[in-house]
Structure 1
Amino acid sequence: MTSIRRATASDAPHVLRLFDGAIAWFAAIGNTGQWGTEPFSAQPKQVARVQGWVAEPGAWIAEHEDAGPVGFLVLGQATDYVWPVDEPELYVRVLIGSRDPRAKGVGRGLLRFAGEQAEAAGIGLLRVDCYAGGSGDLVRFYESCGYERTDTFTVGDWPGQVLARRLR
C-alpha cells in the first residue's frame, strides 16, 4: 500500500536515494544523457537542489508501508526554460519513482494525484517537461498517462519535451 504525504526537509536523503537509484539504473541500460552517471548525492549542486525541492509547498512523497519513500513529486509553476501559457496551470516540476518492485505504478499514481490537486484548485491544465533524448520512452510514458506533446526545448545540449493534459 502506498500513501502520499507532504515532503519535509528530512526527506532530502530519501529523494537523493531515489535519484541515485534512477541514475544507476540509467547507467546500467546505457541511458546517460538524462542525468549523467554521477549520483546526485555526490554532487553538491544537486544536493542543494533537492533540499530546495523538498522545502517547496507543492512537494509530496509517496511512501510504501514496507519500502518507505518510493516516489517524489513537486507541483508548482512552470520552469523558466519553457514557454508560459496564458491560463492557470499546475506544473509537474519534479517526478521520480523508485526502481523497487514495490513501487510499481507510483509514477502514474503521483500523476493522478497531481490531477486531483489541480482539479481541487479549479485548474484545468497540467503540464510537465521531461528528457526527450535516448529511446523516447519517458515521453511515451507521459503520453500513456494522458499527456500530449506541445513544445520542445533545449537546455545546453539536453533535449526536452513539454507535455500537457487537459482536465475536466
Structure 2
Amino acid sequence: NFSIRNASSELEDGKRILAFCDSQLEWLAQVGSSAQWGLEPYSTNDDTQEKYRAFVERSEQDQSWSKEWKKSYIAELDITEDQITKEIQPYLVHQPRTNSKSSLRLPVAAMLLTGHSEHYAQSILPEQDDQDPFIWIRYLLSDRRLGTLSKGAGLALIEHAKSVAQQMGIRRLCLDCWSGNDRKLVRYYERHGFVSLGDVSHNDWPSAVLELRLD
C-alpha cells in the first residue's frame, strides 16, 4: 500500500519531482515515446528547478480555492530495515511516524494539481468553470529508477486526487496527456475512468484533454 503525503520544501521535493521526470526519459525512449518529453534532463535547468521549488512552496501554504490554487503530493512505500537494498538506499526518506513501525519511506511517485487548465487546452476546456469547477492534474509521474516498486502508485495518486476534489465539493478531475505512440497514455487514463473531451496540439506536441466525473 502507498502512503500519500504533501510535498515538502524541507525534504526538497521540488528536486525530487525533477529527478522523477529525468527517470522517465530513458524509459520513454525504450517504449517509443521519446517525443513525449524529449531527451534533455529537467533537473539540470536552473529555471526549472526554481519553478518546481516555488510550486512545492506554494502548495504548502493555506489556500482558498481559486485559479491560482496549487497542491503537490508524494506517494511513498513503507520500507523495513530488511527490505533495504543498495538500489533503493539512496532514495529513502527518514521520517518519524506515529502510526507506523517504519520510519523509512521510499518516495515512488508524485502528483501536481492546479486550479486551472493549461493554456493550450483551453480551446476544449476553459481555464476554469465556476458553474462546473474542476481540479487539473498537471503532472502524474513515477520514479522509473525503482522498477516495479512504483507500480500502482499513479492509480493511488488519482484516488487521492478524487478525495481532495470531493472534500472541496468539486465534482471532476481534468488533465491532458501526450496522445502520440498510438495513444497508449490516453488509454491508461481511459482505463481508470477518464473520458476524452478532444485533442489539441501545442508546438507540434499532440495531446488529449480528458475528464473524470466524480458524481
TM-score (norm 2): 0.73
Structure 1: which 5+ residue stretches go unaligned?
Answer: none
1:82 aligns with 2:129: no
Q: Deviations 1:8-31 (Å, cap 9, x if unpaired)?
A: 221122212211111121123332
What is the total number of aligned residue pairs between the two structures?
168
Using the alignment, how far apart are the partners of 2:8 and 2:38 within structure 1? 27
| Higher Cα radius of gyration | 2
1:138 aligns with 2:151: no
Residue type matched to 1:30 in 2?
Answer: G
Note the 1:120-159 alignment, pairs <5 A. Answer: 120-159=167-206
Structure 1 runs, 4 residues or longer, greater than 6 Å off: none
Given the superposition, is the C-alpha separation of residues 92 and 37 from structure 1 closer, same or farther in structure 2, using an over 3 Å criterion?
same
CA contact (8 A) 1:125 1:167 kept: yes
Residue type matched to 1:133 in 2?
Answer: G
1:18 aligns with 2:31: no
Using the alignment, how far apart are the partners of 1:17 and 1:104 within structure 2? 17
TM-score (norm 1): 0.91
Residue type matched to 1:48 in 2?
Answer: E
Give the match's secondary structure for 1:119: helix
Identity of aligned residues (%): 33
Q: Deviations 1:90-138 (Å, cap 9, x if unpaired)?
A: 1111111122211110001101111111111111111011111123111
Partner of residue 98 from structure 1, selected from 123, 143, 147:
143
- Cα RMSD of the aligned pairs, angstroms, is 1.6
Residue type matched to 2:40 in 1?
Answer: E
